[in-house]
Amino acid sequence: MRPKKRVAVISPIHSEEQEEERQPQGFQQLPQGLVVDILSRLSVKTLFHCRCVCKSWVCIISDPHFHHLRVSRLPMPWGWGY
């Protein structure tokens, strides 16, 4: 007698709407300005990791205005600005 073959059960592919519904509600409720402010204070290395969180964070981090905000927050070297 032959042993029975095992059949793999594949879960259905989730749409983006279903994926967004599974995210914690607090994450979606954060104002974008607050997210921009927090992200602008992080190191470049951390920002590269943050790009993997969600599409909206990729858009924020890739925005030229975001880069301008980050540069404006960098401390000036001694002797500059006098």
State the Cα–Cα distance between residues 75 and 48, nearest whole angstrom: 21
- Flag whether pLDDT at 64 surpasses 80: yes
Mean pLDDT, rounded, for 48-70: 92
pLDDT in tens, 18-56: 555 555 566 678 899 999 999 999 999 999 999 998 899
In this structure, what DSSP letter does residue 14 have? P
pLDDT of residue 65: 94
**Could you please report the per-residue DSSP string of 22-79?**
HS-HHHHHS-HHHHHHHHHTS-HHHHHHHTTT-HHHHHHHH-HHHHHHHHHHSPPPTT
Distances (CA, A) of 79 to 43, 45, 65: 24, 28, 27
